[in-house]
Amino acid sequence: MTATGEQLAYADAYARSITATVRHVEGEDAPLIVLDRTIFYPGGGGQPADRGVLLRAADGRTWTVRAARKAGSEIAHELEPDGDPPAVGDTLQVDIDWARRFALMRTHTALHALCGVVWRDHGAQVTGGNMEPGSGRMDFEFESMSGDLVDSIEATVNRELAAERDVRVAILPRAEAFAIPDLIRTKINLLPDGIEQIRTIEIVGLDLQADGGTHVANTREVGQIRVTGYESKGRINKRIRIELMDPNA
């Protein structure tokens, strides 16, 4: 195969429709399709893969994309089983399920705001996280966490979101990224040696992380959140669950 297809979600999270050409088709029951360019996010870092639709302009035939995933360096689109897949060379209109993706972008950004507040105000490191559209959870090494503290964290996160902070994406050479003290806490040092470029997400003035996901451009788009629960996963490890106050905004 020629050079890897363009992967636009990493550079422009707001791209929701493009035209692309089929480069590779594999499998019959749930065919995997590789395109010369795509806006699908393949999942990773706690953010689920996009869903969407492929439309062949030539005859109006459509296919439902039920998931996307990394396949080597490519992003493969997994189709619902539905008769013949598109053919190599076909021109397709590629649409992601935007309402779902935008909810994920808002949720992902809210989780970064939560990480930023917990780190800045309590010095607790994040150890993991996961999300669905509109809700998510983060795990912290946070021995002193309590119900009162969680209430104040919720209020602080909402204040930070309301401050309309810009959210910026950058791609840094590895050495430069490793020189940023804030990035070390997110266990950037676990990244394999072969990775030469580090993608970072910054909520300006609040949080900076190495991250592969999609986020909104300003915290005002998140709206407000509420903490829906917290639990101890041991003496040190604690989990905080949040949801968007308005998941369909």
Where along the sequence are the contacts to Zn ion (CB under 5 A)?
211, 213
Least gap, CB of 54 to Zn ion (angstroms): 27
Distance CA 131, CA 41 (A): 14
Least gap, CB of 86 to Zn ion (angstroms): 32
Non-local CB neighbours of 35 within 8 Å, separated by 6+ positions:
5, 20, 21, 22, 23, 75, 77, 92, 94
Q: Which is nearer to Zn ion, 18 or 45 (CB)?
A: 45
The C-alpha angle 133, 137, 141, rounded to 5 degrees, equals: 160
Q: Which is nearer to Zn ion, 54 or 183 (CB)?
A: 183
Q: Which is nearer to Zn ion, 20 or 203 (CB)?
A: 203
Q: Which is nearer to Zn ion, 90 or 207 (CB)?
A: 207
Alpha carbon distances (Å) from 120 to 23, 159, 206:
46, 14, 8
Strands 207-210 and 197-203: antiparallel
Q: Which is nearer to Zn ion, 9 or 22 (CB)?
A: 9
Strands 52-56 and 91-96: antiparallel
CB distance 129 to 136 below 8 Å: yes
Least gap, CB of 26 to Zn ion (angstroms): 30
- Which residue sits closest to Zn ion, CB atoms considered? 211
